Amino acid sequence: MLQATPGAPPIIDDQLCVVYQADTGAIVHIHRVTTYQGGQHPSEEAIRSRAIAHLHAFQQERVSSSLKTVLLPPEQIKLGVYYKIDVETVQPVVTDRK
């Protein structure tokens, strides 16, 4: 889990919303949502729609019409490791960088 900045309120929730191509499982965007104590945690629907909106705003050339999302704990995705989403299990699997 994410470590809080000294003096900041404790973290009560931390999630990744992974946006991927429905047919291949290729990940096209990862959106992280961290909620601190006293903050309001957004609904799953809001997290998913915000992730798609960010993708459209910042990566327009890579946007596909067949996108899906999955919410995951950040511990399931390690930095420096390439993943795709297994379209059957809807879980991340390690892949080559392609």
pLDDT in tens, 54-63: 988 887 666 6
Mean pLDDT of 35-39: 93
Domain that holds residue 21: 11-94
Coil, helix or strand at residue 69:
strand
pLDDT digits (tens, 9 = 90+) for 45-95: 999 999 999 988 887 666 667 999 999 999 999 999 999 999 999 999 999
Burial state string for 20-40 with b = 16 or more CB within 10 A and e = fewer than 16: bbeeebebebbbebeeeeeee
Query: How many distinct structural domains can be found in the chain?
Result: 1
Q: What is the pLDDT of residue 76?
A: 95
The reply to whether 5 falls in a domain is no
Q: Determine which of 7-21, 34-48, 53-67 has the lowest per-residue pLDDT on average.
A: 53-67
The reply to whether 2 falls in a domain is no
The reply to whether 4 falls in a domain is no
| Phi/psi at 67 (5° precision) | -105, 150
The reply to whether 6 falls in a domain is no
Q: What is the pLDDT of residue 7?
A: 82
